[in-house]
Amino acid sequence: MRGRKVDTEFLTSFITSCVESGKSSSEDILKEAQDKIANIDVQIKEVEKLKAIRTKLLDVVLTFDKATKEIKTEDCKILTFFEIQNPHICKYICDKVKNSPITINSLSNNAYDITDILFCVKQLIEHGVISRIRDALLRGELFNEYLKFVLRTSYE
C-alpha cells in the first residue's frame, strides 16, 4: 500500500488488545484483523440495504403526507361552507345561477326579503361559491363543492 501512512497508534492498540485476549502469534493477530474486517463488511452491506429501504420509505411518507395535507386543505374549504347562513336562500340563488349567469335584480321575489338575498349573495361570493362580474352572478370556483357537501345536490 504505497503512499498510505500507517496509524501506528491504532496498530499498537490493536496488537495490545489481541495479546491481552490470548492471541500472541502473528497468524492469530492477522486472523483477528481479517475476522473484524469481514464483520465490518457484513455490517456495511446491512446498512446499505437499510439505506435503500429508507429511501423507499421516504417516498411512501412523501406520498401519503402530501395526500393528507391536500385532504386537510379540502376539508378546511368545505368546513367554511357551513358558516354560510340561510341555506334555503342560498339554494334559491344557486338554482338560479346553475344554468346561466343572472343579474342581482332577477333574484328579487316575494318569498325572500331582498336584504336577506343580498346578504346570501355576499356570503356565497366570499366563499367562492358564486362570482360577480359587474351586475352578473355566475358559478364560482367552489360552486359544485358547495352543492355537493352542503346542499347535497349537484349540477353538472
Fold of 82-151: Arc Repressor Mutant, subunit A (1.10.10)
* Exposed e or buried b per residue across 80-118, where buried means at least 16 C-beta atoms within 10 angstroms of its C-beta: ebeebeeeebbbbbbebbeeebbeeeebeeeebeeeebe
Q: Hey, how many other C-beta atoms are within 10 angstroms of the C-beta on 120?
A: 25
In tens digits, the chain (156 residues) has pLDDT values of: 466 788 889 999 999 999 999 998 999 999 999 999 999 999 999 999 999 999 889 888 887 776 556 555 565 666 677 778 888 898 899 989 988 899 988 888 888 888 999 999 999 999 889 999 988 999 998 888 888 877 666 555
Q: Which three cell numbers stand for residue 143?
A: 360552486
In the chain, what are the domain boundaries? 8-80, 82-151
